[in-house]
Structure 1
Amino acid sequence: MQPERAAAILDFLALADRLKTVERRGRVVLPDGATRRENSAEHCWSLALIGTLLHAEVAEPVDLGRALMMVAIHDLVEIEAGDTFAYDVAGRATQAAREAAAAETVFGLLPGDLGGRLRALWEEFEAGTTSEARFAMACDRMQGFLQNVMTGGIAWKEHGVSRADTLPRMTPAMQVDPVFAALIGRLYDRAEAEALLGPEA
């Protein structure tokens, strides 16, 4: 490996490690019962586990390796753009532009062939036009929903998120496959039984 290529890869990995410092609104419950905010690297690991469990359960064939590559890189742009809360209307209005600019910076650190490959995977995930991208998206959205249910809806309650607020985000995930519909449906049942979501406007 050429020294310049090795240096670029190591520089990229050092930048990527900063994903561990990007906080999300979702919470993690600690052993003593206290909570802290989840970080984006933890989120990626959790949805990778979901994907590993579910890829053989869904009807449409999925290349798990490709889906997991998308999972690994889909939030790297947050290092520069920050995490955008799913229910932040103003933040979501500028999210695409902020993340596209961040992609230039983040993937631009790599040698052209590697940066182009990762950028293409990120764009595939964002477009959602392949079975792997749709599967990864469903895992992504299920993970955030599951995290909120497991932590008593803390983030939902802090921001007054209702069931109706969640449906535009969760319905596409449920439509990917009946497996996601069943699992997310059970999470909705639990959220309703435990009054985790706010009242409808």
Structure 2
Amino acid sequence: MTPDRIAAVIDFLALADRLKHVERRGRTVGPDGAARQENSAEHCWNVALVALLLHGEVADPPELGHVLAMIAAHDLVEVEAGDTFAYDEAHVLTQAEREKAAADVVFARLPPDLGARMRALWEEFEEGETAAARFAMACDRAQGFLQGVIGTGHWRAEGVSEPQTYGRMDPARKVAPVFEALIATLYERARAGGMFAEPRP
């Protein structure tokens, strides 16, 4: 690596470090019982762990290294665009436009070849057309739902009812039977814990 290339990589990693300061709506509970907001870097690590644990549970699994690379890249745009809460309908409407503009900024910080590689991983995840992308998406959505259950639940406070979650979770459930089983179990726990808001009339 040339000095300029090393410097660009360091600068990009410093930019990516800001992901640790992008808060999500999901909450995490410490061993002392105190809760705080999860951040996007923690989310990405947990999605990678889901992928590692479930990869061997699916028929014809995608190449794991590629899946993990997509997971590492998939939320980098949030250092510029911020996190979009899945059930904030108004914010979701502008998400694609905001994140594309953020991608233009974020990936341009790298040398062109590395920037193109990272952007391609992000785009593959967003497009969801490959088996690897669908598996990564299912891990991502399963983690977000899991965090809602183990993080003391935030859906009731946010006014999110169970039926509102189906549009987000159903595509993940269809990726493989293990996701159906995992997510069905999480729904059972969420219902038992009274974690959902009442459906709107």
Shorter-chain TM-score bucket reads over 0.9
Moved more, 52-61 or 178-187: 52-61
Tell me which residue corresponds to 1:182. 181
Tell me which residue corresponds to 2:132. 132
Residues 95-136 of structure 1: per-residue CA shift (max 9 Å, x gap): 000000000111100000000001000000000011110000
Q: Contact (CA 8 Å) 1:26, 1:148: kept in 2 or not?
A: yes
| Equivalent AA in structure 1 for residue 186 of structure 2 | L
**TM-score w.r.t. length of structure 2:** 0.98
Q: Look up the SS of the partner of 2:37 in the other structure.
A: strand
Q: Look up the SS of the partner of 2:168 in the other structure.
A: helix
Q: Look up the SS of the partner of 1:165 in the other structure.
A: helix
Q: Shift of the alpha carbon at 1:152? A: 2.3
> Which whole-Å CA distance do the structure 1 matches of 2:61 and 2:26 have between them?
31
Q: Contact (CA 8 Å) 2:29, 2:36: kept in 1 or not?
A: yes
| Equivalent AA in structure 2 for residue 53 of structure 1 | L
Tell me which residue corresponds to 2:194. 195
Q: Contact (CA 8 Å) 2:161, 2:198: kept in 1 or not?
A: yes
Q: Contact (CA 8 Å) 2:81, 2:98: kept in 1 or not?
A: yes
Q: Contact (CA 8 Å) 2:27, 2:152: kept in 1 or not?
A: no
Q: Shift of the alpha carbon at 1:195? A: 1.1
Tell me which residue corresponds to 2:169. 170
1:142-153 aligned within 5 A: 142-153=142-153
Residues 30-54 of structure 1: per-residue CA shift (max 9 Å, x gap): 2221110000000001010000001
Is residue 2:38 matched to residue 1:38? yes
| Equivalent AA in structure 2 for residue 149 of structure 1 | V
Q: Look up the SS of the partner of 2:56 in the other structure.
A: coil
Q: Shift of the alpha carbon at 1:23? A: 0.3
1:106-125 aligned within 5 A: 106-125=106-125
Q: Look up the SS of the partner of 1:55 in the other structure.
A: helix
Q: Look up the SS of the partner of 1:32 in the other structure.
A: coil
* Runs of 4 or more consecutive aligned structure 1 residues displaced over 4 Å after TM superposition: none
**How many residues are treated as equivalent by the alignment?**
200
Q: Contact (CA 8 Å) 2:157, 2:197: kept in 1 or not?
A: no
Moved more, 19-28 or 144-153: 144-153
Is residue 2:12 matched to residue 1:12? yes
Q: Contact (CA 8 Å) 1:128, 1:137: kept in 2 or not?
A: yes
Tell me which residue corresponds to 2:60. 60
**TM-score w.r.t. length of structure 1:** 0.98
Q: Look up the SS of the partner of 1:56 in the other structure.
A: helix
> Which whole-Å CA distance do the structure 2 matches of 1:152 and 1:8 have between them?
40
- What is the aligned-residue identity percentage? 63
Taking only aligned residues, the RMSD between alpha carbons, in angstroms, comes to 0.7
